[in-house]
Structure 1
Amino acid sequence: METSTVVPFNAQLPSSVARDGFDTPSASAERELAQLRARVRELSAELVQAQETACRHVARELHDGVGAELTATRFALASVETWLPADAPPQCAAALAVANRSLDAVCAASRQAVAELHAPSLEAGIVGALAHWTSDFATRTQLRTSFVCAADVRLTRLPTDAALAVFRVAQEALNNIVKHARAESADVRIETSRRHLTLLVSDDGIGLTRNARDRRGHFGLSGMQARCAAFDGTLRISARRAIGSQRDASGNASRGTLLQARFAWDAMLAHAPRAERRALQS
């Protein structure tokens, strides 16, 4: 009677190896590679968890510490304005007005920072969370922002940690566009295939400058890479030529930036209930 050996990952082993039960160098290398990938996932997940813990801590400090000091400062300025003599020089009132405007700006920035540091509500799923955040982002920054998403039922079933990873990468990418790209518009898109969820964030800004390339060790970029790696994914940032005849201030064809963050469905759905995971992957 003939016997057959089923080899995982469609690897082919010589018949002599199958008879003797020993691994070939390639099989051993594949096993070690799988172990390394698992370790990368584990370390990346730990880094992401540490980042979220740090975000929560900073948010509490901003809200409880800085927020309290800003409130005390506001009352102090109000007292100064109340007790200011009627014959005080007009420069005093002008200085108080400047101080109050600056305080208003700091308070608004602090509230926004606290809101972004806190994990978003994902009860409506990643699609609802990103649609709401990009709309608010566009209103707040005046950057024309669009959001398009594939119709894929798996997006509604993502576990919280996986949905948060996608959200945080999109959030960081858009914030970077406002800070560095000098762009007028940005597009956020989620595409899906059988094996991967891909987040694409593009803009029509100045593209990848030398300074941008030198920021490879930047905390935000490393954080995005870790979030992708935690779900067997990859992060790629490349220059993107603008469509049509868009020109920059120097008259050159403007170049935007394209960020592609890929996540593996198998890793993202790993924490979903087993029966639900089988149904989504079939």
Structure 2
Amino acid sequence: MDTSTVVPFSAHLPSSPARDGFDTSATAAIAVVNVVVPLSAAERELAQLRARVRELSAELVQAQEAACRHVARELHDGVGAELTATRFALAGVETWLPADAPPQCAAALAVANRSLDAVCAASRQAVAELHAPSLESGIVGALAHWTGDFAARTQLRTSFVCAADVRLTRLPADAALAIFRVAQEALNNIAKHARAESADVRIETSRRHLTLIVADNGIGLTRKARSRRGHFGLSGMLARCAAFDGTLRVSARRVAAKRGDGANASRGTLVRARFAWDAMLADAPCAEQRALQS
């Protein structure tokens, strides 16, 4: 690492009459000194530890994605096949049911078919979520499509707002996937636990960071949620942020909601996931090169 500090300075000789045939009234040339400030042992160790954290986080993310692909295949090929066989079996029972069968038989078959429909729908949704999304249109297109599907599926008012930043179009696939997965997990948590009416997704950018913000107007961070440790989804979000020199913060959201006594209530949860541009774009030229060669 170049830790040189350039310190320019100029020295001016005092104006005086010429002596010994030399004119000493001329201004001396500007001198430039490079002062090398080496990193301390502690700073070097800290940099190495940060690099190791990024490496381990990236390995954890890769393992999670591999597990997702494996579970998706098992659900599609194994569970999906069994559900199809069950559906044919129930159809056969309904066909062979005698005309004078008790009405409870037909009612039981109807319940079984409704339950099977629900399981099939849940299985299809799980497979869709486990598979990596199509990032051909970039992270903005992928998130816009996902939030639209989320709103239709959950009936929550959902919005997606994104900063106009050309760097978003240059994100490598692994960085775009990390942002998408954090947003996906945050939205799924809202659907499962928040009891919210709305969810808002926003991407903000600065010179050094991209920040993903997911907010809801639900019940907020309950005591049970605060005391829960080792949550798989949260640890995955943390790892995806850490893999790109980022951080994750989950906090209570202040929402102006009128109570019966007219006072304002505090409702909702705010997720802020921050990613460093330098870490995300580090492999961008390599990714673009591979895309051109393929």
- Give me the TM-score of the superposition, normalised by structure 2: 0.84
Q: Is the 8 A contact 1:247 1:254 kept in 2?
A: no
Residue aligning to 1:46: 59
* Higher RCO structure (Cα 8 Å, ≥6 apart): 1
Sequence identity percentage? 87
* Shift, 1:245, TM fit: 3.0
Give the conservation status (yes or no) of the 8 Å contact 2:194–2:218. Answer: yes
Q: C-alpha distance in 2, partners of 1:144/1:218?
A: 26
Residue 200 (structure 1) aligns with: 213
CA RMSD after TM alignment: 2.2
SS at match of 2:95: helix
Aligned mates of 1:141, 1:151 — CA distance in 2 = 28
Q: Which of 84, 102, 125 is matched with 1:71 structurally? A: 84
Q: 2:276 aligns with which of 255, 264, 272?
A: 264
What is the CA-CA distance between 1:213 and the residue it aligns to?
1.0
2:175 is matched by which residue type in structure 1?
A
Deviations 1:163-193 (A, max 9, x none): 0000000000000011111110010000000
Q: Decide whether the 8 Å contact of 1:235 with 1:260 is kept in 2.
A: yes
Equivalent residue letter for 1:84: L
Q: Which secondary structure does the structure 2 equivalent of 1:255 belong to?
A: coil
- 3-state DSSP of counterpart to 2:98: coil
**Aligned equivalents of 1:49, 1:185: Cα separation in 2:** 32
Unaligned regions of 5+ residues in structure 1, if any?
8-23, 277-282
| Other structure's SS at 2:199 match | strand
Q: In 1, Cα distance between the equivalents of 2:93 and 2:45?
A: 69
Deviation string, structure 1 residues 80-129 (Cα, Å, up to 9, x no partner): 00000000000000000000000000000000000000000000000000
The Cα offsets for residues 22-66 of structure 1, whole Å up to 9 and x where unpaired, read as xx9972111110000000000000000000000000000000000
> Which segments of 5 or more consecutive residues in structure 2 lack a partner in the other structure?
1-29, 289-294
Aligned length: 258
More helix, by proportion: 1
User: Whose radius of gyration is greater, 1 or 2?
Assistant: 2
Runs of 4+ in 1 over 4 A off after TM superposition: none
Return the letter of the residue paired with 1:126. I
Aligned AA for 2:277?
W
Alignment partner of 2:138 out of 118, 125, 134: 125
Secondary structure, aligned partner of 2:88: helix
Query: What one-letter code is carried by the residue in structure 2 that aligns with 1:105?
Result: A
